[in-house]
Structure 1
Amino acid sequence: MLSLIFLTTVASLVTAVHVPTRTFPPTFCHGQDCPRYTVVSSTADYEERLYEPAKWTSASVTGTYSAAVSAGFGKLFQYISGNNKDQAKIPMTVPVLTKIQPGQDFIVSFFVPYADQASPPEPSDPDVFTNPLPQMTAYVRHFSGYAGDADWVANANALAKSLDNATISYHRDFYYTAGYNSPFQPVDRHNEVWFIKSD
């Protein structure tokens, strides 16, 4: 009888400390559509994620990082507000993803909502295009607060250093920034930098 009580107590303690598996979507998507991924592994410095193939709507823009993201966001916001061949209103998604590749234009992207993934409305602006991204493994570092240009660079450098120390192969010629919050949200902000695994 005592052993049964002991086993029952142990079982309840194990249940109490069990850490549940993260469900999708993560809380930092705030109920909006965001790209599906599986966490492959996690360290104190970064998370390794396997992203499913998905379509994004993108704009190619020039200028400094902040100016380019602002301009790209404006073009994409007009697209989801009806500046497309169907004149369709498209829900906002997260993150705002920006590809940074030295010497080339910035590519700012909105994730295409799941309802439109099969056939996104065709953009009317010649600078806006549907951008299918393949399945990919991303190494992701996150940080909080309002992110300025220097914050993105510092976190990208820190992530690169962590990956180099772990002798991980990744594309060094570009990386992504991912912002998940409206500029009017002062707290609980979530920002990410991504490097993509190379073969």
Structure 2
Amino acid sequence: MKTIAALAALAISLGSRVQAQTLPTAPCFIYDDDKIEAPCSVSVKNTSSYSIRLYGADAEPEFWSTAAVNGSWADAQGRGFNKNFLYITGANKEGVKIPMTHPVLARHNDSTPTQWQVSFFVPSAFSRNETSVPTPTDKDVTIQRAPLFKVAFKEFPGFATEKDFLSCEADLRAALAADGVATLGGTDWSRVWAQYDSPFTLFGRHNECWVRVQ
């Protein structure tokens, strides 16, 4: 676990100040009553319009299984999810089953709008180092180490549509611009759509649009 001083120094190097707190030990959960693992993060800022989190600051590396999909967001939703789901249910060289995590991420950048990266978080039990992460057998699925990155995000409920995510992102970018918060573009982690719930969850659904910030 990183110390408060280490986190503060890290935040300063990114051009922002992290609130005085330590990272939780793995595994991390996004809700107090939710036992589905999520990547660890540090809360940096909360406003009435958006919040900011810092990811990748934990001492342990974090990894994502990532399926590359060409096409629309609907294509990414279907094929990308299925490829990752097959990976965690045994389509890996080790033949192991990996617990489901959240969120499921769909990300791309504006220069390649039809090239999507759909990712599942690899649980901490498997991700102490790259050699311990099961190897995908599908050539379209790769294992990516999560970068150190800071995102502003906005939440919304319900079964998310592409229109919902676009509206969420437009509102988020407008709020960031109004506050003078600089955004970062040009990478596959600069624009992310996150969904936290199983398709079988009918109520209390949680979705977020993320924009990478400096």
- In the TM superposition, what whole-angstrom CA distance separates every residue of 1:139-192 from its partner, at most 9, and x where no partner exists? 010110111110010001111111111111112444100000011111000000
Query: What letter corresponds to residue 180 of structure 1 in structure 2?
Result: Y
Alignment correspondent of 1:175: 191
Shift of the alpha carbon at 1:29?
Answer: 8.0
TM value normalised by structure 1: 0.84
Q: How far apart, CA to CA, are the structure 2 residues paired with 1:57 and 1:71? A: 14
Shift of 1:70: 1.2
Instruction: Measure, in 1, the Cα distance between the counterparts of 2:144 and 2:32.
Output: 23
Whether the 8 Å CA contact 1:98–1:109 is kept in 2: the answer is yes
Contact 2:109 2:185 in 1 (8 A): no
The aligned counterpart of 2:3 is: none
TM-score, length-scaled by structure 2: 0.78
Q: Which amino acid letter does the alignment assign opposite residue 155 of structure 1? A: C
Tell me the matched-pair count.
Answer: 176
Match of 1:164 in 2: 177
Match of 2:162 among 129, 134, 149: 149
Aligned to 1:72: 80
In structure 1, distance between residues paired with 2:45 and 2:183: 16
Question: RMSD of the TM alignment (CA)?
Answer: 1.6
Equivalent residue for 1:45? 49
- The answer to whether the aligner puts 1:30 opposite 2:34 as a matched pair is yes
CA contact (8 A) 2:43 2:53 kept: yes
Aligned counterparts, 1:13-162, within 5 A? 25-27=29-31, 30-52=34-56, 54-102=62-110, 103-104=112-113, 105-118=115-128, 119-162=132-175
Identity %: 34
Cα pair 1:29 1:94 within 8 Å, conserved: no
Q: Which amino acid aligns with 1:181?
A: D
Q: Residue 77 of structure 1 aligns to which amino acid in structure 2?
A: F
1:27 alignment partner, SS class: coil
CA distance in 2, matches of 1:156, 1:124: 34
Q: Is the 8 A contact 2:69 2:75 kept in 1?
A: no
Whole-angstrom CA distance in 1 between matches of 2:32 and 2:77: 20
Query: Segments of 4+ in structure 1 off by > 6 A?
Result: none
What amino acid is aligned across from residue 47 of structure 1 in structure 2?
Answer: S
